[in-house]
Chains A and B, each alone.
Chain A
Amino acid sequence: MLSRVANSIYWLGRYLERAENYARFIDVNFNLMLDLPPGLKAQWEPLVLATGDLELYQQTYHDFDKRSVIHFMALDKSNPNSILSAITYARENARIVRENLSKETWEKINELFHLLNKSTERTIWGKKDPRSFFEKIRYSILLLYGLADGTVARTEAWYFRSLGMYLERADKTSRILDVKYHMLLPSPEEVGSPLDFLHWTALLKSVSAFNTYRRLYGKIESNGLLEFLVFNRQFPRSIYFCLKEAEDCLHMISDSRTNDFNNNAEKEIGALRSKLAFSDINDIIKTGLHESIDEIQQKINIISSEIELNFFQIRHEPFTQNQSQ
């Protein structure tokens, strides 16, 4: 497939996943705030930290109040990662590769774009509960995933989109873990308190994992939770699971063997995935959670640029690319 098209499909996957995650984060945080004991200040700052866009936020906004944070994450055009921006980019990428999409997929992306594009503050804060707005966005994207699942052939295009989706998801799970751990880590006397429980619950819900975690691990406590979100082999939002899927996509694209590599993207992702496969919660505690998460994020960035170099970059000198790998 054309490099330019592969690039657009990959980013289509990333932007949709990003928008879906943001919509979920806002929704969950909103719910959490409803549960907080009276007198406790609502915490919206962690959400901005989770996105990695703190600096950008502080250029325009002064407080971390609910409205500002939600506006920043949902409708702010100057924020390249806001839901509106992500959906606009996703739709632009979809337009570029439209001949590769099913009719339904394109139409649903288009509808979502038009919905967001005409959304204003009033749409969110108007008559209705703001959560219904974000729910609509989430469901639109999940519908797109469902449509794709049932209608799209598993060709290169499929694997590039999935690759983008899983890398983005791994990144978002790692970010939410990092920030929640740092910002909401209760002081020792609060461990096991109702507030602690609420925070961990919110964290699980922000990755749509509350029920699954309960079934698999039972008790809500930090180690089990970390184990679940970083190493779990079955849960589709654990970092390990996402990396494994992304790695498989790369092998499907290159038609190469699973335990081998023939480009740097496969090499880097294989190394990170294996490292996680042979680590456990004790290794994280030894290294420190923040440090471990930071390392994972940096590796994901490296994988991302290797994908870019290997598949997408337009080369002006033909017939040399296979040698450079």
Chain B
Amino acid sequence: MDLSNYQCAGLFDEMFQEDGTCRGHYHPFEKLLKRTHPKKLKQLQFSANKSQLAMGMTFNVYHNEEGLEKILHLDIIPRIIPNPEWLKLEAGLKQRVNALNHFIQDIYNEQEILNDGVVPRDLIENSKDFLKPCIGLTPPKGIWCHITGTDLIRDKNGEYFVLEDNLRCPSGVSYMLESREIIKKAFPNVLNKAGVMPVSNYPARLLNMLQNLSEKEKPVVGVLTPGIYNSAYFEHSYLALQMGVELVTGEDLIVKDHKVYMQTTKGFEPIDVIYRRIDDTFLDPTAFNPDSLLGVSGIFDAYKAGTIALANAPGTGVADDKAVYAYVPDIIKYYLNEDPILNNVPTYLCRKPDERQYVLDHIDELVVKETNAAGGYGMLIGPKASAEEHEKFRQLITANPTNYIAQPTLSLSTVPTLVEDNVECRHVDLRPYVLYGEDIDVIPGALSRVALKKGSLVVNSSQGGGSKDTWVLY
């Protein structure tokens, strides 16, 4: 494969420096790439996707009858992260998760951070993700956010920024694990040469973390899934299989005297820890959303009684609200008395008059986001929008400033990606996974999501994004 035409002018590329030379940590892979014929690469790519399909590594696309199941396209060229860079990321993530956990515990209990005015009280108490039933609760071992999948990006200078803290049910870890297996088959020799840290013990670490939540010697653990029509069902069943625990749905569970049981062929058996992959408000129709058919009536009472542990704890969503996000650096300082190791993307809170004015004046340069929307809804991308749209958002912001934040438009870093017979640059983000058990544990790997369309910044799987195996080097 000839790489001399590879171009990514003006952007930070993961593999090549501005002068066109390859970064040191990519050398073993560059060597391999150069001596592999494009046809061979295409073949490897084809069989990688074929084995994804055979494995059923698919997600469901809602409202699409024909291709109901799609694979998340795995690009066979890995994204590689050198060790020093990773160490910094790791320290930053630990710090962040630690602080956020303090924060959640605090706002549902003493509320010191609100009393001290560091985070505005109304921002928290008016948030739809602030779950009143959780007030006064301390989950087992004081841990709320057991599994975090933080989204990061790199800007023009290669600096990492946290884009989002996903503290609810972050998905994608199964893709991280299975992608590695596929890439091992595609490039059997180079992983060893490059010195890639393994990720395969994630399920064991996850299980350990979950078991740690119960006082029992041999706690019964289950993964709670909404069922086969959920877009992440593959992952739910994959994790249950890899951990050797039951995969349960709401209908398998029943609560009696504040204790949760599974219905089995031999009667009712107790369950002690649940890794739940359904949203907070669907968890218990009696405590939250009465329309939920997915949850288990009475499970929240059992949780309060301490007979069942839930990961992540209900109520964590309040800390990954887009407006709360802007306060995370302050939150880190408040609880840990440390400077944040990882930066936030600079965020303007429209609730603050001076920042609002800045946003209104510079709306054509900024990305405006609704604080509680997700998946690209309620968004304005200033540089790409018309004057009319700018005006519309100015009015929306003025009418309801609390509801909006704004950020400068960042250019994501790029990474070489196989496109037909060629290697081209595509934008990429990074989602490492953090487990909070006895210690805080960052898995040396990640889900890297790639925008497959040229120039596109959208890496979302539902909008045509792909993924990459992420190599963290020793």
Decide: B252 and A316 in contact? CB cutoff 8 A.
no
The smallest C-beta distance from B206 to any residue of chain A, in angstroms, reads 14
Does A214 reach chain B (CB closer than 8 Å)? no
Residues on the B chain within 8 Å of A3, using CB: 252, 263-265
Does A315 reach chain B (CB closer than 8 Å)? yes
- Contacts A95-B56, A98-B241, A318-B261 given; indicate if A2 touches B246 (C-beta within 8 A): yes
Decide: B265 and A99 in contact? CB cutoff 8 A.
no
Residues on the A chain within 8 Å of B9, using CB: none
Does B288 reach chain A (CB closer than 8 Å)? no
Does B474 reach chain A (CB closer than 8 Å)? no
Decide: B263 and A98 in contact? CB cutoff 8 A.
no
Does A6 reach chain B (CB closer than 8 Å)? yes
Does A226 reach chain B (CB closer than 8 Å)? no
Decide: A156 and B267 in contact? CB cutoff 8 A.
no
The smallest C-beta distance from A95 to any residue of chain B, in angstroms, reads 5
Residues from 87 to 131 in A contacting B, C-beta threshold 8 Å = 92, 95-96, 98-99, 103, 106-107, 110-111, 114
Residues from 41 to 92 in B contacting A, C-beta threshold 8 Å = 53-56
Decide: A106 and B268 in contact? CB cutoff 8 A.
no
Decide: A95 and B228 in contact? CB cutoff 8 A.
yes
Does B240 reach chain A (CB closer than 8 Å)? yes
- Compute how far the CA of A96 lies from the CA of B249 in the bound complex, rounded to whole angstroms: 10
- Contacts A6-B265, A99-B240 given; indicate if A314 touches B233 (C-beta within 8 A): no
Least CB separation from B53: chain A residue: A114
Does A67 reach chain B (CB closer than 8 Å)? no
Interface of A is mostly: helix
Residues on the A chain within 8 Å of B233, using CB: 95
Q: How large is the interface on B (under 10, 10 to 19, 20 to 34, 35 or more residues)?
A: 20 to 34
Decide: B265 and A156 in contact? CB cutoff 8 A.
yes
Does A187 reach chain B (CB closer than 8 Å)? no
Does B110 reach chain A (CB closer than 8 Å)? no
Least CB separation from A101: chain B residue: B241
Decide: A111 and B247 in contact? CB cutoff 8 A.
no
- Contacts A3-B252, A107-B54, A319-B256 given; indicate if A311 touches B265 (C-beta within 8 A): yes
The smallest C-beta distance from A98 to any residue of chain B, in angstroms, reads 4
Residues on the B chain within 8 Å of A314, using CB: 251-252, 263
- Contacts A2-B246, A99-B241, A319-B256 given; indicate if A107 touches B264 (C-beta within 8 A): no
Residues on the A chain within 8 Å of B241, using CB: 98-99
Decide: A92 and B228 in contact? CB cutoff 8 A.
yes
Does B248 reach chain A (CB closer than 8 Å)? yes
- Compute how far the CA of A316 lies from the CA of B297 in the bound complex, rounded to whole angstroms: 11
The smallest C-beta distance from A25 to any residue of chain B, in angstroms, reads 28
Decide: A110 and B55 in contact? CB cutoff 8 A.
yes
Decide: B54 and A4 in contact? CB cutoff 8 A.
no
Least CB separation from B56: chain A residue: A110
Least CB separation from A92: chain B residue: B228
Residues from 241 to 272 in B contacting A, C-beta threshold 8 Å = 241, 246-249, 251-252, 254, 256, 261-265, 267-268
Does A34 reach chain B (CB closer than 8 Å)? no
CB pairs A–B below 8 angstroms (21 shown) = A1-B264, A1-B265, A2-B252, A2-B263, A3-B264, A4-B249, A4-B252, A5-B246, A92-B228, A95-B233, A98-B237, A98-B238, A99-B247, A103-B55, A106-B55, A106-B56, A110-B55, A156-B265, A311-B265, A318-B268, A319-B268
Instruction: Pick the 5 closest A-B CB pairs, nearest first.
Output: A99-B241, A99-B240, A98-B237, A311-B265, A107-B54
Q: A interface vs B, CB < 8 Å?
A: 1-6, 92, 95-96, 98-99, 103, 106-107, 110-111, 114, 156, 253, 311-312, 314-316, 318-319, 321-322
Known: A5-B247, A107-B55. 14 other contacts (CB 8 A): A1-B264, A2-B252, A2-B264, A4-B249, A4-B263, A6-B264, A95-B233, A95-B237, A98-B237, A98-B241, A99-B241, A103-B55, A321-B268, A322-B267
